[in-house]
Chain A
Amino acid sequence: MNDSELDKILLSAGNELPLPPDFGRQVWRRIESSSAASPGLASWFEKVLSPLAKPAVAAAAILTMTALGLGLGAGLKPRQEDWKEAYVESVSPFGSPHSR
């Protein structure tokens, strides 16, 4: 699409307000700058994560995540105080409603 085609489309839209003389150029500049930004981000993303395509790195990533999950799960063990609260709640009719 060139400038004259763009002008035709804009005129056919029925907008009667006068456009600035370099309106078409400004529109194209914005389109160009936005299309230039996206591939940059995508290529950066791909570059950072591309090692994951190698089987050894992929296996290491999966093992790391599994270990992290196990570690976090073990670290969040209920505290002694939580068990005490659970017992108090189970024998007190005045606390929060019983779940059983």
Chain B
Amino acid sequence: MKRILLVLAIALAAGLCAFALMRSHRHADAPPGTLLESMPELVWLQKELDLSDSQFKKVSTLHAAYLPECTAMCERIAEAHERLDTVSYGEMQVTPELKTAIADHARIHAECQERMLEHLYETARILDADQAERYLEVMLPYALDFSHSEPEDVHVR
């Protein structure tokens, strides 16, 4: 019985190792040390727009330079959200502090939106006309994101 259990354990371990190995191999989808390995999100850009090596190199450099900025913006937005959230539950009226938090939140949102759009246009300028059109067609809705400000049919009488 011990031998049978040992065989079962080895078979299970072999299956798990094979799964993990194949999954990590497929996930990387790029040779080690390459740009795609360090920034796998660029796989979509490369495949979708069929970038040349030169375009891919330029786009990757731009992307890498933008990433720390984007992280910083993400933190600023999160802080502004949190501040607005905290202040809005404090009192039952629009206090000067709440007014400041609302203004800060709107300003930070606008600044980050502007910077994201700037990055998208910078990337588009590296591409040829068709690629740029396709890229902006897909990406602009994410940067514009009217989901929080569009009236939709809330005020329809």
Contacts and interface: CB of A to CB of B under 8 A. Distances in A.
Contacts of A49: 4, 8
Interface residues on B, range: 35 or more
Interface string B114-130: 01100110000000000
Contacts of B63: 90-91
Given A52-B7, A87-B42, A94-B112, A65 B14 contact: yes
A38 to B, nearest CB: 14
B4 A52 contact: yes
A50 B3 CA distance: 9
Interface stretch (A10-18, A20-28, A29-37, A76-84): A76-84
Instruction: Give the most central of B8, B15, B17, B139: most A CB within 10 Å.
Output: B15
Main secondary structure of the interface of B (DSSP, over half): helix
Contact size range, A: 35 or more
Contacts of B119: 91
B154 interface: no
B7 A86 contact: no
Given A78-B26, A97-B74, A87 B44 contact: yes
Interface of B: 1, 3-4, 7-8, 10-12, 14-23, 25-27, 29, 39-45, 47-48, 63, 66-68, 70-71, 73-74, 76-78, 109, 112-113, 115-116, 119-120, 138-139, 142-143, 145
